[in-house]
Amino acid sequence: MPVDVVGEVEDPTPIAIRLGIRVLPRLRRLYGAGRWRKMKGVARIRVLDGTIRRAEVHWYEAHGIGRREFKVKRYLGE
């Protein structure tokens, strides 16, 4: 399910860096070499029915490449 992040991600925190990322070879193959980090944070997202909810999201990012592959991990209270 694609995630549409609305606004800024609050409290971005690294979960894993470089070799701690299990899918690092796939990220490098798809998006290129970089200092990849797996991150988590809280953001407002637009769900499929059009409503906006707060959720914990995880994603991968690298300098010069940007944020890729957002995933919703859990919904938070309204």
Tens-place pLDDT, residues 27-59: 999 999 999 999 999 999 998 888 899 999 999
Rounded to an integer, the average pLDDT of 66-71 is 94
Q: Given a cut of 90, is residue 78 above it in pLDDT?
A: no
What predicted TM-score, i.e. pTM, was given to this entire model? 0.88
Q: How far apart are the first and last CA of the chain?
A: 21
Q: Taking the CA atoms of the chain, what radius of gyration do you get in angstroms?
A: 13
Domain boundaries defined on the chain: 4-75
Instruction: Kindly tell me the burial class for residue 50, based on how many C-beta atoms sit within 10 Å of its own C-beta (0-12, 13-18, 19 or more).
Output: exposed
